[in-house]
Structure 1
C-alpha cells in the first residue's frame, strides 16, 4: 500500500496543484496560532513564488532558533525552511526533505535569492529528496539535529510509526519535534485510504488523536504538548457524506527527546524573560504560560524538558520534595477540546483560506482570529 499512497500524493501535490488555491476541498486544517514578530518579518522576505505554493496547515516556527540545526519534514515549496533560515542566522543550518522531485527542484532555485536577501556570505540551507520513513537514505545522521518541524505532512504518510521513529533517531538529546497535522475524532476507516482526494486533503490518512499520543510515547518521545487546536468544518457535501461520523481538527504539538532519566518530582521554574520576542511571557503550550520572574510549579517531565532542551539557560529550576503522578488519561491533549475551549475553530477553514492568511501575514497582518464552531470529541 505504501508505494501506491506515495504515488498518489506525488501526483496530487507535484502535478495537480500549482498553488494553494488549487486544493479541491475545504476539508483541511488552519491552526490559528500567530507568528511572532521575528517570523513575520522573515516571511515578508520570502520570495512570492515560494509563498504561493504553501500547502501547510499551521504555524510551525518555535521559539529560540538562533544557531540551531533544523530539519523540515516534507518541506514542499520551502516556505517554512526559508523563514527558519532567517531565524537560525548565518551560523545555523536548515535542511528541507521532501519525496517530490519537482518540489525539491523548485525550492532549490531560490537558495541564492534568499542568501542575498538575508545578507549571508554563504547559504545556510539545503534541500534533499527522500522519504520521511527513511531519513538515513537522505543522509540525515542520528543525534544530529536540534529541532524538527513539519506542516501537515504526517497525515500524508502511510507509515506514521516509521516517520516518528526516524524523527526521534535524528534528534539530539533535548531536541524538539514541533509540528502541525490533521487529526480524526475516531479511527479512520480503511476505505478512506483508497480515495485519492480524501488522502490528498489529509482526511484519509489522519490519525485518531489518542492513537497519536500513544504512538509518540511508544517510539520514545515525551508526552506531547498541545500548542494549538482548531476544529475543521467540512463544506463539500460529497466529502461530508464520505466522512460520516468522523470529525477532524488540526493540532500543533511539540515533542521532546529526553534523557533516559526523567525527573520524578515537581519543580518550581522561573522564566528569565530571555527568549527573543517573549520578554514578558513565554507561552510554551496551551497548559503552560511562563511569566517573567514568576515561579510556576510544573511536573517532573516538564522540568526535564526545560532542563535538557535549548531553553535550559532561560529558566531557573528548583526541585521540590513532592512526587508527581503521570496522568492516566490525556483528554487535555485533545485538539478538539482545545478548539472548543479557545473558540478557535473557523466556520470555513481550508488550505485556500490558509493561503489567504499567509498572504495577510506577509503584508504584516500576522494575527489570526476565528469564530466558534461545534465541539468535537
Structure 2
C-alpha cells in the first residue's frame, strides 16, 4: 500500500512544485506529458459559456485534468484547492452568483499573482459590483493554518493537485474539517494502477508532471473513509497516454487515469436506507437530467431506485431540495408501479475508463421493462 511508503520530504516537494509551476512552466503547452487531459465527459453548455468569459492569460496557465465543476452550486461558499491562476474560480464565480463566494488557495505566489491581477476584470465582465472571489496563499495540507475556518464551506473542488501533495491524508483531513456538514469534496486527479515505487516518487520531473505522486486508486478509497468521508463516488475516468518516450521508459508498466470523485461529509447519525428518488428539474443548466456519478443519472420526473449510500447523500446535502423521496414498498402516486434501476458500473476507474472509451456502458434498465428501455419515461 502507498501508505506504507515514505513520501518525499514535504518542504522539498513544495519547493520543487513552486519552482515547476511558478518558473519552469509558462503555459500549459510547456508540460512534458499528457497527464493534464480534457474531461472524459462532454462539457455542459452553461459551463462552456462561463469558460469563454475567463481572461486568456488565466486560461493559458491552466494545468488541470478533467473538469472539477459540480452542479447545484448557486449561492454556495466554495473553495478551490491549488487554484493556480484561478481559471476554475472564475468559472465558479459566475455559477455561484452574487450571493455565493469562491476562495482560491495556492502555495505558488507566481500563480496567485496572475489570479489576483484579473479580479477586477472578471467582476466587471460578470456585472458584479463587489468581488465574490478571493485568493489565499497556503498549503492544501494545512487549510486551517492558512486562516480557513472549520465547517465554513459547502463545496471544495480540486483539479489535478492532490497528486502533487507529499501528504494526501492531511489534504483529505483538512478538507473534511473546513467543510460544513453535508458538504462535498469534488475533485479530478491522477491515479495509478499500483503503488508507485520509492525511486519513481523521487523523480522531480515525474512528480511535477502529476505522475509519480499519483495515488493508487484503492488507497484513495481507504484514506477517504478513514478521514470520515462517505464511500467515494466515481464520476468519470479517462486513460492517460503519457506521450513522452523518455518518461514512459522510466514508468515501465505503470498505468494512469484521470478520474473525478465526489466525497461527502455526512452526519454520523445519517441513515442509509434504499429508496426511490425523483429529480425535480430545478438545477440551473440541468433542467432535463443530472449525471450524479458513473452509476446514477437522474432524469426529471422519472423515479430512480438508489442504494442507501446515495440516498443518505441526497437527503443530507445541498441536493435535498432538488429531489422527491419515496421509501420503497410504500404506495405512492409519485413512483407508480415501476421505476428505473441504475447502471451497473465498476468501482475501478481503469475499468470505467475502458468502458467509457469503448462506449459500451450498459444502459439503465427499467424494473418492469426490457433491458433497452425505461418504463417510466
TM-score bin (small chain): 0.7 to 0.9
2:175 corresponds to which residue? 167
> Does 1:184 pair with 2:192?
yes
Q: What is the CA-CA distance between 1:321 and the residue it aligns to?
A: 6.5
Structure 2 counterpart SS, 1:96:
strand
> Does 1:83 pair with 2:91?
yes
Question: 244, 252, 256: which one pairs with 1:248?
Answer: 256
Select between 259-268 and 334-343 the one with higher mean Cα deviation. 259-268
2:57 corresponds to which residue? 49
2:147 corresponds to which residue? 139
CA distance in 1, matches of 2:35, 2:113: 28
> Does 1:62 pair with 2:70?
yes
Question: 277, 286, 291: which one pairs with 2:285?
Answer: 277
Q: What is the CA-CA distance between 1:244 and the residue it aligns to?
A: 1.3
> Does 1:342 pair with 2:356?
yes
1:13 corresponds to which residue? 21
CA distance in 2, matches of 1:291, 1:243: 42
RMSD: 1.6
Structure 1 counterpart SS, 2:29:
helix
Contact 1:20-1:54 at 8 Å conserved across structures: yes
User: Equivalences for 1:95-134 in 2 at 5 Å?
Assistant: 95-134=103-142
- Normalising by structure 2, report the TM-score: 0.87
Question: 211, 215, 220: which one pairs with 2:223?
Answer: 215
Contact 1:72-1:150 at 8 Å conserved across structures: yes
Q: What is the CA-CA distance between 1:337 and the residue it aligns to?
A: 0.7
Structure 2 counterpart SS, 1:138:
coil
Question: 22, 30, 34: which one pairs with 1:26?
Answer: 34
After superposition, give the CA deviation of every residue in 1:18-70 in whole Å (9 maximum; x if it has no partner): 10011122344443223222211111111111111101111111111111000
Structure 2 counterpart SS, 1:116:
helix
CA distance in 1, matches of 2:37, 2:348: 15
Q: How many residues get paired?
A: 338
Contact 2:193-2:216 at 8 Å conserved across structures: yes
1:325 corresponds to which residue? none
Q: 1:331 to 1:195 in 2, by over 3 A?
A: farther
User: Equivalences for 1:267-346 in 2 at 5 Å?
Assistant: 267-320=275-328, 332-343=346-357
Q: What is the CA-CA distance between 1:235 and the residue it aligns to?
A: 2.5
Deviation >6 Å, runs of 4+: none
**Bigger helix fraction:** 1
Q: What is the CA-CA distance between 1:89 and the residue it aligns to?
A: 0.5
Question: 226, 235, 238: which one pairs with 2:243?
Answer: 235
- Normalising by structure 1, report the TM-score: 0.87
Higher RCO by CA contacts (8 Å cutoff, separation 6 or greater): 1
> Does 1:72 pair with 2:86?
no
CA distance in 1, matches of 2:227, 2:346: 21
Structure 2 counterpart SS, 1:242:
helix
Structure 2 counterpart SS, 1:238:
helix
Contact 2:224-2:230 at 8 Å conserved across structures: yes
Larger Rg: 2
Contact 1:222-1:256 at 8 Å conserved across structures: yes
Return 5+ residue gaps in structure 1 as ranges. 323-329, 346-377
After superposition, give the CA deviation of every residue in 1:231-251 in whole Å (9 maximum; x if it has no partner): 112231221111112100110
Contact 2:78-2:156 at 8 Å conserved across structures: yes
Contact 2:294-2:345 at 8 Å conserved across structures: no
Return 5+ residue gaps in structure 2 as ranges. 1-8, 331-343, 360-377
After superposition, give the CA deviation of every residue in 1:319-341 in whole Å (9 maximum; x if it has no partner): 2369xxxxxxx982221111111
1:367 corresponds to which residue? none
Contact 2:289-2:299 at 8 Å conserved across structures: yes
Q: 1:27 to 1:176 in 2, by over 3 A?
A: closer
CA distance in 2, matches of 1:26, 1:301: 34
